[in-house]
Amino acid sequence: MSRPVFASSLVALLLLSGASAARTLEHPPLGAGAFAAYESQDTSHVAAPAHRDTLRTHESFVAKHRFLRTTLEVVFINRVQNLMNRYVVRSGPETDQFVITWDSIKENIKNGFEWDDNKFITNHFAHPYNGALYFGAARANDYDFFHSFLFAAAGSWGWEFAGENNHPAVNDWINTSYGGATFGESLYRLSTLVLDNRATGGKRILLELGAGVLSPGRFLNRMVTGEGYRVHQNPPGHEPDHLVGVFETGARMIGDDHVWEDTEASAFISFATEYGDPFSETLEKPFDTFDFGIQFNFDSPDSIDVVGYIDVEGWLFGANEYDADHVGDFVAGFSHFNFYSNEVYRYGSQEIGAGYLNRYRMGERYRGSARVDLNAILLGASKADHFNVSGRDYDYGPGMALELKWALERDEHEILSLEQDVSWIHAIDGNIADHFIFMTDARFQIPIHDHIKLGVEYLFYAAFREYKDYPDVDVSAPELRLSAAFDID
């Protein structure tokens, strides 16, 4: 399948997620000699005569660290969001919270941070996505991951104190800042795959709008600088050497104690991508390799979010080691963004930790890989069973997480994977409680074509919640998935 299919899949899925909340290359990569190869092609259909010989470079539009422009764009994003909520999205008394005065700002500063009562999808999807707006604007002005994180934190702080007259929420600030950086960097990199600075006409408009869905802050900057509508070179490293996407659809069946007891069946679609390969290319910048996954559940109860999960884990730092056969092992730092919401499992977290990765050969055709992650949960949320004064149906707190993964590949296509995740959240807002959360995942896939696989997956969810003021609760449920997966590479 082609890169346009990969790009359109990304954009369509993000559009679907937004509604729920409120690779054959067409041109050579710009490595050594690549642009010379491009210049040898007929470019009369993409550039005005004055630009045919020497297209402007990416750096013509993106200078180093445009602090003032980035700051103004972050302020502009907040102002537009305020006006949209006040005059378009909200109605009636709901608009009152977006009436901003100097008195409301002084009151917010005087009061300081507290915890809010927003819905789960608002706090754990919408807020990180808003953080990605600030983050994308900074990245588009050539700031690196860590400096762009500071702009996301500053933009979120500005919104909490001066974007609405509700008291600022500490959970919003963490979810928008750190979640915005982790979620935002993955979306920023994926938006690069959609863009083509050498395209013109209707195709260019569609590509720019599609990338704008993935990284709105970047879209804003490209319109301001002219980068979004003038023909010029694509930046170096336009896409990684290793890029694989998987589109999957099928049925999911959740039972009571067993999948054949009181079973409820529903449909799902998902998209996952592996960006970069830590065992075949040198990692230099955060998120030079990352895994991104998103799923949508249908025919579920109205109280359950359509977005079933979003899972992002990206490399931050640490030397990777591998040999000519693309096997080896190393330890590195990773950032994690988790959002899970289904009939029996509700979990959201912002995590940072260390991961050990190992890949090894098992004969000529088979390859095994193992991974262990130990993470600090900066802020985690878990489903609550009892009433609490926060007004939410989930509790908040820090904690720890352990992830164990093993996979078997045949001819570099994964056919079997096993995963065990264990999380502990010490809830400090909502109910005072300790949440112990487990997810077991076993997946088997049978290739029936070069790009098509049939799969069966068994998941088991379990949670043990120990409350200070209420009876403890133990819950568990199995899930069986039958699916067809289509590789996009």
Q: pLDDT tens for residues 179-238?
A: 999 999 999 999 999 999 999 999 999 999 999 999 998 998 899 888 899 998 888 778
Note whether 250 and 222 are same-domain residues. no
Note whether 110 and 89 are same-domain residues. yes
pLDDT at position 246 over 60: yes
Query: According to the model, what pLDDT value does residue 7 have?
Result: 56
Query: According to the model, what pLDDT value does residue 63 have?
Result: 59
pLDDT at position 479 over 70: yes
Q: Is the dihedral of CA 163, 169, 171, 177 positive or negative?
A: positive
Please report, for the domain that includes residue 357, its CATH number: 2.40.160
pLDDT at position 60 over 80: no
Query: According to the model, what pLDDT value does residue 262 have?
Result: 62
Note whether 409 and 389 are same-domain residues. yes
**How far apart are the C-alpha atoms of 205 and 211, rounded to whole Å?**
10
Query: According to the model, what pLDDT value does residue 436 have?
Result: 97
Q: Is 437 helix (H, G, I), strand (E, B) or coil?
A: strand
Domain that holds residue 109: 1-238
* Average confidence score pLDDT of the chain: 86
Note whether 347 and 470 are same-domain residues. yes
pLDDT at position 27 over 60: no
**How far apart are the C-alpha atoms of 326 and 315, rounded to whole Å?**
18
Query: According to the model, what pLDDT value does residue 11 have?
Result: 61
pLDDT at position 51 over 50: no
pLDDT tens digits for range 264-299 = 778 999 999 999 999 998 999 999 999 999 999 987
Of 215, 238, 261, which residue sits at a domain end?
238
Question: Residue 488 forms beta bridges with which residues?
Answer: 245
Question: Residue 335 forms beta bridges with which residues?
Answer: 314, 352
More confident residue, 324 or 78: 78
Question: Torsions phi, psi of 130, nearest 5?
Answer: -65, -40
More confident residue, 466 or 47: 466
188-192, 262-266, 334-338, 446-450: segment of lowest average pLDDT: 262-266
Query: According to the model, what pLDDT value does residue 302 have?
Result: 65
Query: According to the model, what pLDDT value does residue 413 have?
Result: 87
Note whether 363 and 309 are same-domain residues. yes
Amino acid at residue number 465: R
Note whether 45 and 180 are same-domain residues. yes
Question: Residue 414 forms beta bridges with which residues?
Answer: 409
Query: According to the model, what pLDDT value does residue 318 have?
Result: 94
Q: What share of the chain has pLDDT > 90, as a percent?
A: 64
Helix axes 3-21, 201-214, angle to 10 degrees: 50
Domain count, the chain: 2
Q: Contact 252/309 with Cβ under 8 angstroms? A: no
**How far apart are the C-alpha atoms of 426 and 434, rounded to whole Å?**
5
The mean pLDDT value for 362-389 works out to 93
pLDDT tens digits for range 113-124 = 999 989 999 999
Query: According to the model, what pLDDT value does residue 171 have?
Result: 95
Query: According to the model, what pLDDT value does residue 248 have?
Result: 96
Q: How confident is the model at residue 390 (pLDDT cuts 50, 70, 90)?
A: confident
Amino acid at residue number 79: R
Note whether 349 and 414 are same-domain residues. yes
Query: According to the model, what pLDDT value does residue 93 have?
Result: 82
Q: Contact 329/358 with Cβ under 8 angstroms? A: yes
pLDDT at position 43 over 70: no
Note whether 222 and 304 are same-domain residues. no
Reading the block at residue 381, the tokens are 């949320």
Note whether 195 and 256 are same-domain residues. no
More confident residue, 233 or 334: 334
The mean pLDDT value for 372-393 works out to 91
Query: According to the model, what pLDDT value does residue 416 have?
Result: 97
Of 178, 213, 238, which residue sits at a domain end?
238
The mean pLDDT value for 152-165 works out to 95
The mean pLDDT value for 323-339 works out to 94
pLDDT at position 409 over 50: yes
DSSP characters for 88-118?
II--GGGGGGG---HHHHHHHHHH--B----
Q: Which residue has the tokens 């963490």?
A: 174
Query: According to the model, what pLDDT value does residue 29 have?
Result: 33
pLDDT at position 24 over 50: no
The mean pLDDT value for 295-321 works out to 88
Note whether 338 and 440 are same-domain residues. yes
Do you know the residue count of the chain?
A: 489
220-229, 279-288, 383-392, 396-405: segment of lowest average pLDDT: 383-392
The mean pLDDT value for 94-115 works out to 92
Note whether 343 and 218 are same-domain residues. no
Q: How confident is the model at residue 112 (pLDDT cuts 50, 70, 90)?
A: very high
Reading the block at residue 445, the tokens are 């896939």
Query: According to the model, what pLDDT value does residue 30 have?
Result: 32
Q: Contact 350/174 with Cβ under 8 angstroms? A: yes
Note whether 252 and 168 are same-domain residues. no
8-17, 91-100, 187-196, 200-209: segment of lowest average pLDDT: 8-17
**How far apart are the C-alpha atoms of 421 and 443, rounded to whole Å?**
15
Of 221, 238, 255, which residue sits at a domain end?
238
* Secondary structure letter of residue 453 according to DSSP: E
